[in-house]
Amino acid sequence: MATTYTTAQIAELLERVSNWGRWGKDDQRGALNYISNEKRAAAARLVRSGETVSLALPLPTRPARDNPTPVTHLMIRSGDIGHPLGSWGCADYFAIEPHGLATTHLDALCHHFYQGKMYNGFDYTEVDFQGAHKCAIDVARDGIISRGVLIDVPRLRKLEWIEPGDAIFPEDLEAAEQAEGVRVGEGDVMLLRTGRFKLRRIKGVGAISGLKMPGLHASCLEWLRERRIAVLGSDAVSDVLPTPYEPPLRMPIHTGSLVMMGVHLIDNADLEQLAEKCARESRYDFMFSLLPLILERGTASPANPVAMF
Amino acid sequence: MATTYTTAQIAELLERVSNWGRWGKDDQRGALNYISNEKRAAAARLVRSGETVSLALPLPTRPARDNPTPVTHLMIRSGDIGHPLGSWGCADYFAIEPHGLATTHLDALCHHFYQGKMYNGFDYTEVDFQGAHKCAIDVARDGIISRGVLIDVPRLRKLEWIEPGDAIFPEDLEAAEQAEGVRVGEGDVMLLRTGRFKLRRIKGVGAISGLKMPGLHASCLEWLRERRIAVLGSDAVSDVLPTPYEPPLRMPIHTGSLVMMGVHLIDNADLEQLAEKCARESRYDFMFSLLPLILERGTASPANPVAMF
Amino acid sequence: MATTYTTAQIAELLERVSNWGRWGKDDQRGALNYISNEKRAAAARLVRSGETVSLALPLPTRPARDNPTPVTHLMIRSGDIGHPLGSWGCADYFAIEPHGLATTHLDALCHHFYQGKMYNGFDYTEVDFQGAHKCAIDVARDGIISRGVLIDVPRLRKLEWIEPGDAIFPEDLEAAEQAEGVRVGEGDVMLLRTGRFKLRRIKGVGAISGLKMPGLHASCLEWLRERRIAVLGSDAVSDVLPTPYEPPLRMPIHTGSLVMMGVHLIDNADLEQLAEKCARESRYDFMFSLLPLILERGTASPANPVAMF
Amino acid sequence: MATTYTTAQIAELLERVSNWGRWGKDDQRGALNYISNEKRAAAARLVRSGETVSLALPLPTRPARDNPTPVTHLMIRSGDIGHPLGSWGCADYFAIEPHGLATTHLDALCHHFYQGKMYNGFDYTEVDFQGAHKCAIDVARDGIISRGVLIDVPRLRKLEWIEPGDAIFPEDLEAAEQAEGVRVGEGDVMLLRTGRFKLRRIKGVGAISGLKMPGLHASCLEWLRERRIAVLGSDAVSDVLPTPYEPPLRMPIHTGSLVMMGVHLIDNADLEQLAEKCARESRYDFMFSLLPLILERGTASPANPVAMF
C-alpha cells in the first residue's frame, strides 16, 4: 500500500468519501445522524457492572511543550470568611482555547475547511468573527451517547506506544478488531489508542511535541466511511504528523472526517485507563457518553467523555 | 409548619442533617458515595426508547439582568483561508465564571462554607488563591450517572411557574411524588422544577433578578437527608430567595446540602423540555448523566446534563 | 443653526472635513502628524510648577449600568509565602475590553468605518479576526505628547454638568475659549468637559446610561478641522447621544474625527480634577501626555492621560 | 569585591538599605516621594528637540521561550458592516499577566515580600485573592515623570550585550557615569541597559530563557540607595539570574528595591533605540514619562515608558 499520496490522489480520495447531501442539503449534524434512538438504547443495554472510566485529561493549566496555550484558572473569591457564624461561598474563573493540544475536546464540523467549504458544502465565510453560523458545536447539544469501541493499536503491535510520526493503516484496524473480538459498525464512536499519554507519563511532558504524532494514514478514510462511524476519537489528533503526503494538505483525516464525512473528532482523549479496563475484561465495547457544553457558534467543546461498562 | 427559623433553629437543623464522617474522615465525595456501580447499572436499565433531553441552557454570552457576568466567547481564527486548494481550521476561546446566575453548572462541595468549614469539616483555608485543595469539582471526574427524578412543582400546583420568592415545603415534595407515581430514593439525582425558565421565556430575560428565586424551604433538609439523594438540581438555585430566615444565614439549602450532607448541587438547569417529556410519557424517572470538566482545584463546572429515556 | 441634519447633509459635511490624502496616501497617523517635534518641545515649555493631574478613571472592575463589560481582575499568586526567611512575589491578571463605556481609552483610527472605509480610504476588510492591519493603535507608539487645552462647557454655562442628551455647538467652543483666555490651535489635544463624572458622583453610578450622553453637535466638525486639532478627548464619548440626526448615522463626531479627519479620540476621560485645577490657576492649557500600550493590530488602548502644569 | 553573599550577609545588607519609615509609617509610595514638583519641572526643562523614543516592547501576543504567558488578543467585532451608508465600529479584547517575562511593565511595591513583609513593613496578608490592599500600582496614578538616565553597560564594556548570567557591579555604574558625562541623582529614573533585546534580535527569540539574565549584583544596593533614585528600570529584570548567592534569596535587587527601599522597578524595557539616540547625541539624560494604568489593588501595570529629548 502506498504510504504517500499526491495532492491529486488525496483530492480524489476526499471526493470518494463525501457524505455531502446524504442527510439533506441543510444538514449540520453529519454522521451524528447514524446515532438513532435505537442505537442509544442498545448502547445502554451494553452496561453490566455499572463501572465508569473517564477518557479526559484534567484541563491543562500549566504551559508545557505540548501545551503552549494553557487554561487560565484563577479565583474570584477564595475561602476567607467574614463572620464566624456565617456561611459564604468561593468561586473561580477559567479561560480556555478548547482546541489546545493537551485539552480533551470535541471538534465541531465547522472547525475545518477544504477548498473553502466545510461539511455539506457550507462556505467558509459562515465562520466569522462572531463564530460559526453553521455546523457549530451546539448541533450535539443533546449529547453523544452511543456504543464506543476501543481500537488499541499498541496492544496489537505488542508495544507500549506507537512512536510519534508512525502511521496506522486499514489492515491494523482490521487486525485489532480481530484480536479484540469486536467489529466497528454504524453509529459507533471509534476510539483509537496510540499510547501517547503512556509515553508522556514515562518520558515526561517535554518528550513530545504537538507537531509529531502517531495517527491514521489517509488510506483509512474509506474504511471509516464504510463502517459508518458516527465519531472518531484518539489520544492524539487522529492524523499522523508530520504529514507524509504532498503539500499543502496536512491533515487528510481531519479533512476527510470533519469536512467530507461529517464525522466529529475527539482529540487528546486519555485512553490509558480505558485500555487497561478493556484488556482486563477482554471486552472492547461499552456505552460511551460525551455531553458537550452548549456554546452556540462555538468551534469545539472541552469534554469529559466517559465509558460505562 | 413554621416558615421562618431563628439562627439557633437553623444551626440545630444543620447539625441534625450532617453526614460528616459517614464515609470516613478523609472523604471528599460526600453523597456521591450513594451512587454504587449497581445503582448506575440500574439507571442504564431505565433506558427504553433511547431518546435524550439536554438539561442545560446555552452558555450565556450576553449580559442580562439575571446574567451580570456573561461568558466571553471570541474567535482566535475565523474561516478566512489562504490557499484555494488548502485545508485550514478555525478556533475560538471562551472565558467563564461557572457560578454565573444563568449558567447551568455543578457546584463543588468546596463552594460553600459554614462556620469556617466545608463538607466533612475541612477548613475554609483549604480554598486559597490557587483554588480548592479539598472537595474540588474533580472528585466527580468519572461522571455523575444515576437515576434522575423530576419533581415538577408547578404542575402539582397547576401553575405555569412558582413565583420568585415562593417556598416549596416537604409536603409539596411528597405530593409531587404521589402525583407522579415516583419515589425519590438512595443515590438519586433529584431535579426540582420551579418553572423559572418558562417565566423567563414568557416575560423576557429582564423580568427576573438573581436575587429573587423560588426554591426549597429549609424544612426540606431532613427530608432530603432521609431520602439519601446523591445530587440536588434545580432550574433556580435550590434555595428560596430572598431568605425568609433570620440573618446572617442566607442559603440554608446550599449550606445543608454542600456543607453538611455532602450533596452536590446543580444550579440553573433548564427543565422545561424535560417536564414536557415526563408529562407526555407519564414517567418521572430516567437515566441521568452529568460529566463535569476535570478542573483540578475548581469550585464548579459548567455542564450539559442529559436525561435519557 | 439647524440642530438636526438629513443623511445627505451629514454626508456632505463629512466630505468637506476629509483629510484623506493630506499626509500621503499611505498615512495611518492622521492628525497626529500635526504634532511636530517643535510642538512637543513647546508643550514641555508650558510646564511651570511640575504638578500633574491624572485624567483617567480607575479601570472599572465592577459591573454597573454604565459599565456592562467590566474589567476582570484576578490574582495569579497572592501574598501567602512558604519560607519565613524567603522572598516571594505576588502577581495578577486582567482581561479588558478597552472600548468599555466606563474605561478611559484612546480609540485607534481603525475603530470606526464610514461607507465601508476607515481613515484615508483604507477598506473595512483591513480589520479582520486578527485585528487591524491598518490604522491600529500602535501608530501612536511613541506617545501622544502635546499642548492640551480644556474646554469646560459646564463652567461656561454656569452649570454643574451638561445634561445627558444635550448638544454643544461651535459657538459654545468659541465662548469657552474667550472665557478661558485660550485658543485651540494646530496639533493641540482638545479636552471637552461635560461634567459627566460630577453627575455620576453626585447622582450615583446607576444614574446615567451609556446610551444618553452630552456631546458635540455635528456642526462642530468644521470648526475642529479648521483648528487642526491632533486629538479630541471628552469625559463622555464626544458625540451627543441619542443622536438628533436622521438615521442611520449615529455618531458623526466619531465618523468625522476618526474616519474623515484622522483625529484620534479619547473617551471617558475624568476631567473633574483637571477642571478644578484650571479654574484655580485661571489657566486652561498645559503639557498633555498619553502613552498608549503598544498592542499591534489593536483597536484601542486603555490609558492614563496626564496633564502637567 | 565578593561576588557572592551568605544569607546572613544579604540580610544585613537589606537591613542597611531600608527606607522603612523615611516617609512616615503609612507611606505607600516609597522612593516616588523623591520626585517633587520641582524635580518634574526640571525634567521638562531637559526637553530641547521634542523628539520621543518609546521604551516598550509591543505587547507579546505569541508564546515564546522567554514568553510562556502571552497576551491573549482577540476581536469582539471585526470590520464587517451591514449597511453601505452606515458607520460602524470594531472592537477588541485582551487578557494579560502584566508580570510576563516579555512584557514591559512597572512592578508595584506590593509585588515582592521579604520575611513576610512588603515595603514599609506592611504584612504579606495585605495581598489576598482580591488583590493588594497596600502598595498597589495605583499609588503611581498621577504618573511617573522625572529625569531619566541611561546607564549603558554594553557600551562601556565595548560589547553588543552583557551575557545572560553576568553581573554588573557598582564600579561599572560609576564608570558608565563617567564615560557618559552624567550623574545619577535624587528622584531620577535609572535605566540599566544590558543589551538583552539586541541579543534577542540577533540570536532569535528562542535564544534566551527567562531564567538566565544579566543584571545588577546585590552589592549595587547601597549605591542605589545613596543616589536616592526614584525608580529602577532595565531591559532585563534588574537582578542577575541565576542567582550567585546562597539560597533561599534569589533576587536581592528586587527585594532591596521593592521591599526595603520602596523603589518601583520597570522590567523588560526595550532600551535599544534609546541607547542609539543617546550615543548619537552624546547625551544620557532626558525627560522620562511612565503613566501606569490605574488598576486599584493591582500588582503591576503594563506600560509604554517614553523618553523625550
Backbone angles phi, psi at D287, to 5 degrees: -80, 130
Nearest CA-CA distance, residue C111 and chain A, Å? 15
Nearest CA-CA distance, residue C45 and chain A, Å? 47
Contact residues, chain B, for A87 at CB < 8 Å? 112-115, 248-251, 254-255, 259
Q: CB distance A128–D78 less than 8 Å?
A: yes
Nearest CA-CA distance, residue A116 and chain B, Å? 6
Which residues of D make CB contacts under 8 Å with A?
63, 68-69, 72, 75-78, 80, 95, 128-129
Facing residues of D191 across strands?
D150, D233
Q: CB distance B298–A81 less than 8 Å?
A: no
Chain C residue with minimal CA distance to A95?
A: C95
Q: CB distance B72–C95 less than 8 Å?
A: yes
Task: Give me the mean pLDDT over the A11-26 stretch.
Answer: 97
Angle at D234 between CA D232 and CA D235, to 5 degrees: 165
Contact residues, chain D, for C137 at CB < 8 Å? none
Nearest CA-CA distance, residue B76 and chain C, Å? 7
Candidates D77, D92, D127, partner chain C, best to mutate (most C CBs within 10 A): D92
Q: CB distance A87–B249 less than 8 Å?
A: yes
Question: CA A33, CA A149: separation in Å to the nearest integer?
Answer: 18
Q: CB distance C77–B129 less than 8 Å?
A: yes
Instruction: Dump strand ranges (E) for chain C.
Output: 52-54, 72-77, 87-89, 91-96, 105-107, 112-114, 127-128, 131-132, 144-152, 167-168, 189-193, 215-216, 231-234, 264-267, 285-290, 300-302, 306-308
Contact residues, chain D, for C125 at CB < 8 Å? 79-80
Chain B residue with minimal CA distance to D131?
A: B129
* CB contact at 8 A, B215 and B194: yes
- pLDDT per position as a tens digit, D204-227: 877 777 789 999 999 999 999 999
* CB contact at 8 A, D232 and D261: no
Facing residues of B89 across strands?
A112
pLDDT tens track of chain D, all 309 residues? Answer: 456 889 899 999 999 999 999 999 999 999 999 999 999 999 999 999 999 999 999 999 987 777 878 999 999 888 765 445 556 789 999 999 999 989 999 999 999 999 889 999 999 989 988 899 999 999 999 999 999 999 999 999 999 999 999 999 999 999 999 999 999 999 999 999 999 999 999 998 777 777 899 999 999 999 999 999 999 999 999 999 998 888 777 899 999 999 999 999 999 999 999 999 999 999 999 999 999 999 999 999 999 999 999
Report which DSSP code applies to C288: E
| Torsion over CA: A110, A112, A116, A119 (sign) | negative
Q: CB distance D87–C254 less than 8 Å?
A: yes
Chain D residue with minimal CA distance to B131?
A: D129
Angle at C17 between CA C14 and CA C21, to 5 degrees: 110
State the pLDDT confidence band at B210, using cuts at 50, 70 and 90. Answer: confident
* CB contact at 8 A, A306 and A65: no
- What was the pLDDT predicted at D307? 98
Chain C residue with minimal CA distance to B71?
A: C69
State the pLDDT confidence band at B1, using cuts at 50, 70 and 90. Answer: very low
Identify the H or E element spanning C267: strand C264-267
- pLDDT per position as a tens digit, A89-111: 899 999 999 999 899 999 999 99
Q: CB distance A129–D63 less than 8 Å?
A: no
Query: Of A294-308, C55-69, C104-118, where does mean pLDDT reach its minimum?
Result: C55-69
**CB within 8 Å of D248: residues ≥ 6 apart:** C83, C85, C86, C87, D7
Chain D residue with minimal CA distance to A94?
A: D95
Question: CA D57, CA D53: separation in Å to the nearest integer?
Answer: 12
Residue B153, CA distances (Å) to A229, B162, B217, B231, B277 in order: 42, 8, 13, 18, 15
Nearest to C106 by CA among C185, C28, C22, C189: C189
Nearest CA-CA distance, residue C28 and chain A, Å? 24
Q: CB distance C69–B75 less than 8 Å?
A: no
Burial of D165 (0-12, 13-18, 19+ CB in 10 A): middle
- What was the pLDDT predicted at A1? 43
| Residue A304 confidence (pLDDT) above 90 | yes
Q: CB distance C129–B80 less than 8 Å?
A: yes
* CB contact at 8 A, C172 and C152: no
- What was the pLDDT predicted at D248? 76
- pLDDT per position as a tens digit, B252-290: 999 999 999 999 999 999 999 999 999 999 999 999 999
Nearest CA-CA distance, residue C237 and chain B, Å? 22
Q: CB distance A94–B295 less than 8 Å?
A: yes
Nearest CA-CA distance, residue C175 and chain D, Å? 30
State the pLDDT confidence band at C27, using cuts at 50, 70 and 90. Answer: very high
| Residue A226 confidence (pLDDT) above 80 | yes
Report which DSSP code applies to B58: P
Contact residues, chain D, for A68 at CB < 8 Å? 63
Facing residues of A105 across strands?
A267, A302
Q: Is the peptide bond before D242 cis (omega within 30 degrees of 0)?
A: yes
Question: CA B236, CA B213: separation in Å to the nearest integer?
Answer: 6
More confident: D85 or C58: C58
Nearest CA-CA distance, residue B27 and chain C, Å? 27
- What was the pLDDT predicted at C81? 54
Q: CB distance A68–D69 less than 8 Å?
A: no
For A191, the 3-state DSSP assignment is strand
State the pLDDT confidence band at C246, using cuts at 50, 70 and 90. Answer: confident
Contact residues, chain D, for B128 at CB < 8 Å? 129
Question: CA B280, CA B175: separation in Å to the nearest integer?
Answer: 19
Q: CB distance A129–D77 less than 8 Å?
A: yes
| Residue B85 confidence (pLDDT) above 60 | no
Nearest CA-CA distance, residue D245 and chain C, Å? 13
Nearest CA-CA distance, residue C15 and chain D, Å? 13
Candidates C73, C74, C128, C299, partner chain A, best to mutate (most A CBs within 10 A): C74
In whole numbers, what is the pLDDT of chain C averaged over residues?
Answer: 93
Chain C residue with minimal CA distance to A93?
A: C74
User: What ipTM does the predicted assembly reach?
Assistant: 0.96
- What was the pLDDT predicted at C1? 43
Nearest CA-CA distance, residue A102 and chain C, Å? 21
- What was the pLDDT predicted at D279? 98
Mark out the alpha helices in A85-130 (DSSP H runs): none
Q: CB distance A129–D69 less than 8 Å?
A: no
* CB contact at 8 A, A112 and B87: yes
Instruction: Dump strand ranges (E) for B109-218.
Output: 112-114, 127-128, 131-132, 144-152, 167-168, 189-193, 215-216
Chain B residue with minimal CA distance to C95?
A: B95
* CB contact at 8 A, D227 and D185: yes
| Residue C85 confidence (pLDDT) above 60 | no
More confident: D210 or B160: B160
Half-sphere exposure of residue A81, counting CA atoms within 13 Å on the CB side?
Answer: 23
* CB contact at 8 A, B123 and B117: yes
Residue D32 in grid coordinates: 516616588
Contact residues, chain B, for C128 at CB < 8 Å? 78, 80
Of A44, A79, A111, the CB nearest to B89: A111
Q: CB distance D74–B95 less than 8 Å?
A: no
Chains in contact with B via at least 3 Cβ–Cβ pairs below 8 Å: A, C, D
Return the number of other C-beta atoms located less than 10 Å from residue A111's C-beta. 32
Burial of D24 (0-12, 13-18, 19+ CB in 10 A): exposed
- What was the pLDDT predicted at A81? 54
* CB contact at 8 A, C107 and C267: yes
**How long is chain B?**
309
Angle at A165 between CA A159 and CA A168, to 5 degrees: 60
Q: CB distance D129–A75 less than 8 Å?
A: yes
Place of cell 519560607: C83
Which residues of B make CB contacts under 8 Å with C?
63, 68-69, 72, 75-78, 80, 95, 128-129
Which residues of A make CB contacts under 8 Å with C?
72, 74-76, 78, 93, 95, 128-129
Residue A295, CA distances (Å) to A52, B90, B166 in order: 26, 15, 32
Contact residues, chain C, for D97 at CB < 8 Å? 76, 91-93
Contact residues, chain A, for C128 at CB < 8 Å? 129
Contact residues, chain C, for D140 at CB < 8 Å? none
